[in-house]
Amino acid sequence: MTDLIRLAWAIAAKDLRVEMRSRTAIVSAVFFAALVLAIFNFARAPGTVSQAMLAPSVLWVTFTFAAMLTFNRAFALERENAALDGLLVAPIPRGALFLGKYVANLGFVFTVEAVSFPLFVLFFNVSLGDALPSLLLVTGLATVGFVAVGTVFSAMVVRTRFADLLLPLLFLPFLVPPVIGAVQVTTRLLDGRPLSEVWGWLRLLAAYDVVFLTVCAMVFPAILDE
Amino acid sequence: MTPQAQAATATIRRGLLLSGIALVGVVLVYALALFNTPTEIRQGLAQKIFYIHVPAAIGALIAFSLVGLVSGVYLWLRDPRLDLFAHASAEVGVVFSVVMLTTGPLWGKPIWGTWWTWDARLTLTLFLFFLFVGYLALRSAVPEPAERARYSAVVGILGLFLVPFVHLSVYLFRTLHPQPVLLKPSAPSMPPEMLRTLLISMGVFTLLYAGFVMTRYGLAILAESTGDSDAD
């Protein structure tokens, strides 16, 4: 078990180090998020739809779309110079490979979220009140699950002909439960409602995380079999 | 012709025969629904679409469930025939979904007053449809058969787990909002003649599913035995 975690961490650290040296993906994703936020400010009828009404939906569309941009990177990197073959012949259990890629992806998505959230507060004139800790909790709960699904799908589509098109096509249906839940909770929290009011949604998000992390870890080895 | 190709041709022939019988059955269901089943008192003739819509919807859901279950068995046994069956079932499921998603709004406009509403059941079936269109798109993008089988099995399994979550989230979403009064679907208890037509139609659609899947499955086996792996 400790071996598994050690190996997974080695893979995740490798991915993060590669990214830290080039910074292409993360910088693009952050600016993509900023652009989406800016454009959404104008994608409404001024005067009839207030910024505050639109804010939670915009936040989650931005988070999830920016996340989707970073997923392809995880395995596109390994395709160059057949680096994936090297990983596969290395004495690493497939489970550790999944966990490593998953943790790296999670790191990316959390970084993008951490950078775009202050921009969101700024652009949309959001008054956080004391909702910040609860918002962080919800963001974590929603993100942990869909990144697992994204990791599995990106490992798959990167070896197909239309990776950029297939990933959203396969992945978007899986965003339905986390996005609906996260938007509902965010709306209520920004309205100053207590966390206890959204208990049902939080349980749904947590169940999604548990189920999809488990299932994704179980099916992931099947993708890499030769 | 190899024995495998001969068996496949026989399967295709049986599938076509079954599909033909089922299609005649669909015509008979139309006739039965229009001329020999009482007209619903409040909805009038619009209700007749029920005898096509409901069996198509149930057929699609069964087709997609079978894809998910068979995908799970495939990853365990790795028998290529299971994958070919899942593919055939997904295709027929998508066709049935199209029937369901076109007949539904046709009925909804006069009865609910709207083509579409984000009701829990509508949303769930729409996303299932999207998911399996993605499934078929993925299949067409992976040329190597074993690889394609593994990838699509993964999507099939994940789809099976997604269904309860989409249903639950859409349901929770709706219950937090006031329920529309106008758009509330009525649930009439059915007189025996209507039930009879519905049950016959369900039988016919099950036959249609079996016939279509058998034909597509036979074609896939035939394509494989002639080494033409791109014949989707």
**Mutate which: B151, B166, B174, vs A, most A CBs within 10 A:** B151
Residue B175 CB partners (closer than 8 Å, separation 6+): none
Q: How far is CA B132 from the centre of its chain?
A: 10
Are A170 and B170 an interchain contact pair (Cβ–Cβ within 8 Å)?
no
For residue A58, the enclosing domain spans: 2-224
Q: Find the mean pLDDT for residues B3-8.
A: 88
Q: Does A208 touch chain B (CB under 8 A)?
A: yes
The pairs formed by A6-9 with CB atoms below 8 angstroms and a separation of 24 or more are A7/A92, A7/A93, A7/A96, A7/A100, A8/A95, A8/A96, A8/A97, A8/A98, A8/A99, A8/A100, A8/A103, A9/A100, A9/A103
Q: Find the mean pLDDT for residues B65-84.
A: 94
Inform me whether the pLDDT recorded for A56 exceeds 60: yes
Give residue B228's pLDDT band: very low, low, confident or very high (50, 70, 90): low
pLDDT for position A78 = 80
Residue B88 near residue B217, CB atoms below 8 Å: yes
Residue A104 near residue A15, CB atoms below 8 Å: yes
Structure tokens at B37: 């089943």
Among B126-135, B195-204, B216-225, name the most confident range.
B126-135
Mean pLDDT of chain A: 89
Inform me whether the pLDDT recorded for A171 exceeds 80: yes
Q: Is A194 strand, coil or helix?
A: coil
pLDDT for position A207 = 96
Q: Find the mean pLDDT for residues A133-149.
A: 94
Residue B116 near residue B38, CB atoms below 8 Å: no
What gap in Å lies between CA B50 and CA B219, rounded to an integer?
Answer: 32
Inform me whether the pLDDT recorded for B185 exceeds 70: no
Residues of B with CB under 8 A from a CB of A: 75, 127, 130-131, 133-135, 137-138, 141-142, 147, 150-151, 153-155, 157-159, 161-162, 165-166, 168-170, 172-173, 176
DSSP readout, B16-71?
Answer: HHHHHHHHHHHHHHHHHHHHSSPPBTTTBGGGGGHHHHHHHHHHHHHHHHHHHHHH
ipTM: 0.89
Structure tokens at A59: 């936040």
Instruction: Name the residue with higher pLDDT: A146 or A71.
Output: A146
What gap in Å lies between CA A166 and CA A155, rounded to an integer?
Answer: 12
Query: What are the residue ranges spanned by the domains of chain B?
Result: 9-36+48-176+194-225
A·B CB contacts under 8 A = 92
Q: Find the mean pLDDT for residues B130-137.
A: 95
Could you tell me the pTM of the whole model? 0.88
Q: How many domains does chain A fold into?
A: 1
